[in-house]
Structure 1
Amino acid sequence: MTLRLIPYLVMDGNANEAIRFYEKALEATVMYRQSFGEMPANPDFPLPEEAKERVAHAMLKVGETELMLSDTFPGNPHQSGNQVTICVSTDDVEQARRIFAALAQEGQVHMPLQETFFSPAYGTVTDKFGVTFQVAAEKQR
Structure 2
Amino acid sequence: MTTATPFLMFQGDAQAAIDLYTGILPGTRVLHMQRHPAPTSNGGTVMLARVDICGREFLFSDSPPVHAFTFTPSNSIFVDCNSREELERFFTALSQDGKVLMPLDNYGFSSHFGWLNDRFGVSWQLNLA
> TM-score w.r.t. structure 1 length?
0.44
The structure showing larger relative contact order (alpha-carbon pairs under 8 Å, at least 6 residues apart) is 1
Q: TM-score, normalised by structure 2?
A: 0.47
